[in-house]
Structure 1
């Protein structure tokens, strides 16, 4: 039963990443709006695509919920590596929950923006700026999550680790690729703007790769949990 539950929970990574990027396409956010757009152009975009944006946002909210079982499965696997890694499992769980909030909050602001697209363009632009900055710039929970997962994988000293050691270095690279988005507050154009190559495209690509790689690795690890128990904690000798 534990194998089945873990496998199903891990498989939600596929569901999330599919819904997340589908939502971006439905909302006409590939490519995303540019921060250099005028208030009138932003307002016109919401007016022209109001229903598509609303539909995409609903899909994105559903996708955000799908991360909960995935994050829970990842924490469970970290605990299976070694009971002494419980703090890392807890940190991963907190960071994963923060990532859900990092999607939910800006999506609800986007929803409020699209709810009345005929309001003052300046108000629409202010709401749009707030939502895009919150969605793209909030990288620190994902950075923390990737680092913790990488450290936990390297802490597995068994000859055949529960998760392959190369996945640890992948997590460290993902954390590094998420970082450029924290600079978007200084730019309205260029690679660090919220629609730029580093802040959006590289980070979004890394985000997708992380889920597409970690999901099958976790599903494979879930099949071993009953036979591959975590090593016992050694008691100090009196």
Structure 2
């Protein structure tokens, strides 16, 4: 009786290791690392370092020094240094789906270049500015104030890089005739990132709704971004799930080697 129960509880031999044969396994690994990265990104920027929500641009010199020389800030920079390489993985999810679309490769290249510039300006610059300020205790308050301004202006005032990037993604989605992603997502993406152009005034104002910690520049833009991020990942999930195995590049060599036409060439 116990043997029968044990054998019934074991999965069939043909199903063991079946997940390894999934031709989309690489895409799923990439897809599920992205929420993990953004979760860690949020932990680093909010409860660990309190870089976000942004400190006021009109903070006093003593407040800037206290923030810039925090041990938690330095720890946050260390963690971010070790993990920010996972950020480009999210772009790989988009690029795989754009490649399936019936649009020019120029859209894909625009996303790649926009992501590259955006990562340098919007992530590396703030990382080094805040990390440099926390690294050594002897910096003059005026130097720390400059790093403070540089870090926040780079992080919040560089949205133009991402605007062009996601405009290309949105246009590719709208013009695509293969219907890889829903058309409404393309319009939503363009609208969402056009509204982020309101970040431009952070360079000329230190108070009010258009400062880098203002209602419009930060809170409104952040609410739009977070909601868009959830929606676009649901759409990417469905696109990966619905993608036929025949379209996957990692099955092409197998398909070609199994074809009768390939066998004479292989033997020759």
TM bin (shorter chain): 0.7 to 0.9
Gaps in structure 2 of 5+ consecutive residues? 1-21, 249-268
Q: Does 1:58 align with 2:70?
A: no
For residue 201 of structure 1, the aligned residue among 179, 202, 219 is 219
Task: State the Cα distance separating 1:78 from its structure 2 match.
Answer: 0.5
Q: 1: CA distance between counterparts of 2:73 and 2:168?
A: 34
**Counterpart position of 1:9:** 30
Q: 1: CA distance between counterparts of 2:23 and 2:204?
A: 47
Q: Does 1:148 align with 2:172?
A: no
Kept in 2: contact 1:146–1:172 (CA 8 A)? yes
Answer 1 or 2: higher relative contact order, Cα 8 Å, separation at least 6: 1
**Cα pair distance change 1:165/1:117, threshold 3 Å:** farther
Q: Does 1:177 align with 2:163?
A: no
**Cα pair distance change 1:133/1:104, threshold 3 Å:** same
Q: After the TM superposition, which residues 90-101 of structure 1 pair with which residues of structure 2 at under 5 Å, given as runs?
A: 90-101=109-120
**Counterpart position of 1:34:** 56
**Counterpart position of 1:217:** 235
Kept in 1: contact 2:180–2:239 (CA 8 A)? yes
Q: Does 1:87 align with 2:106?
A: yes
User: May I ask how many residue pairs the two structures share in their alignment?
Assistant: 225
What's the C-alpha RMSD, in Å, of the aligned pairs?
2.1
SS in 2 for 1:149: helix
**Counterpart position of 2:135:** 115
TM-score after normalising by structure 2:
0.76
Q: 2: CA distance between counterparts of 1:35 and 1:196?
A: 10
Larger radius of gyration: 2
SS in 1 for 2:75: helix
Kept in 2: contact 1:17–1:211 (CA 8 A)? no
User: Following TM superposition, where does structure 1 have runs of at least 4 consecutive aligned residues deviating by more than 6 angstroms?
Assistant: none
SS in 2 for 1:81: coil
Q: 2: CA distance between counterparts of 1:72 and 1:196?
A: 32
Kept in 2: contact 1:46–1:117 (CA 8 A)? no
TM-score after normalising by structure 1:
0.85
**Cα pair distance change 1:58/1:177, threshold 3 Å:** farther
